[in-house]
Amino acid sequence: MKKIFHLHVENKNSDRLVESIKHEIRKYIKRERTKKTPEGFHFWDFDCKFGESAQNAQAVHQADLGEEIDKANSAKWSECYIEIIAKPAKKPVAPAKVEETK
């Protein structure tokens, strides 16, 4: 998903717009997670970018998108750019436990 969201629209409450943006992001991530992963992968990971425009978007963690949207709203941005790209990922391999014998 690569999309520009307007944070201030005439005759609409900006708090409700922010909540609808967050809802759309959560809905998109949930939909992507339900897709079948390719052979050999365990889950979907997400590369996310956030900024005032596509040119100055910075990489952010998926869990921090809501906070970034709130910061943009409080900074009175007119719009924000959000990019979320799903990629398959593998679970990290846990190190083997070594048992000590005495």
pLDDT tier for residue 100 given thresholds of 50, 70 and 90: confident
The predicted structure's pLDDT at residue 102: 62
Span 34-62, mean pLDDT?
95
pTM: 0.84
Residue 45 scores a pLDDT above 80: yes
Weakest mean pLDDT among 27-41, 63-77, 85-99: 85-99
The answer to whether the beta carbons of residues 79 and 101 sit under 8 Å apart is no
What residue ranges do the domains of the chain occupy?
2-89
**DSSP codes, 24-54:** HHHHHHHHHHTSPPPTT--EEEEEEEEESSS
The answer to whether the beta carbons of residues 7 and 18 sit under 8 Å apart is yes
Three-state DSSP state, 17: helix
